[in-house]
């Protein structure tokens, strides 16, 4: 099965997963939402280049930072990695799942868990 990159428009999660080319997409590991398939990494360089070029469309072109301008000038995988580092983004390590270190994500997770707990409590009351 090819390896795909997925993007979740609801929570911004980006992750890789193996799945059949025409099979159903996995649910977002961050929020369970519907994800968009970005690329088949196992299908050669061309798809990879297309995907990286597509990332440049969401890059802030007015940002004068060197890692941004270098990536826009040359959307290669190396420049993409440098841009990720510059933006303090990084791909998930294998087996890492949704674990994140940053405080904003932790706050988001806490809010989500509290909302789910309230939802569960309401359902118990209604039952």
> Which residues of this protein are in contact with Zn ion, per CB under 5 A?
8, 10-11, 13, 28, 30-31, 33
Shortest distance in whole angstroms from residue 109 CB to Zn ion: 12
Query: In the complex with Zn ion, which residue's Cβ is closer, 11 or 70?
Result: 11
Q: Which is nearer to Zn ion, 11 or 82 (CB)?
A: 11
11 vs 47 by CB, closer to Zn ion: 11
DSSP per residue over 98-109, as a string? T----HHHHHHH
Q: What is the CA radius of gyration of the chain?
A: 18
Rounded Cα distance, 88 and 103, in Å: 13
Cβ contacts of 17 within 8 Å, gap of 6 or more? 3, 4, 6, 26
Minimum distance, C-beta of residue 73 to Zn ion, in the bound complex (Å): 31
CB of 34 to Zn ion, least distance (A): 9
């Amino acid at each position: 099965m090819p390896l795909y990159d997925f993007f979740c428009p609801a929570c911004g999660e980006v992750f890789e997963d193996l799945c059949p080319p025409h099979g159903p997409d996995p649910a977002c590991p961050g929020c369970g939402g519907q994800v968009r398939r970005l690329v088949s990494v196992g299908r050669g360089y061309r798809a990879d280049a297309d995907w990286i070029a597509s990332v440049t469309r969401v890059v802030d072109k007015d940002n004068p930072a060197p890692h941004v301008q270098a990536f826009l000038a040359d959307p290669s995988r190396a420049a993409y990695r440098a841009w990720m580092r510059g933006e303090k983004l990084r791909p998930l390590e294998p087996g890492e799942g949704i674990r994140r270190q940053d405080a904003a994500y932790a706050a988001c997770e806490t809010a989500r868990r509290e909302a789910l707990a309230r939802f569960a409590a309401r359902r118990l009351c209604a039952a």
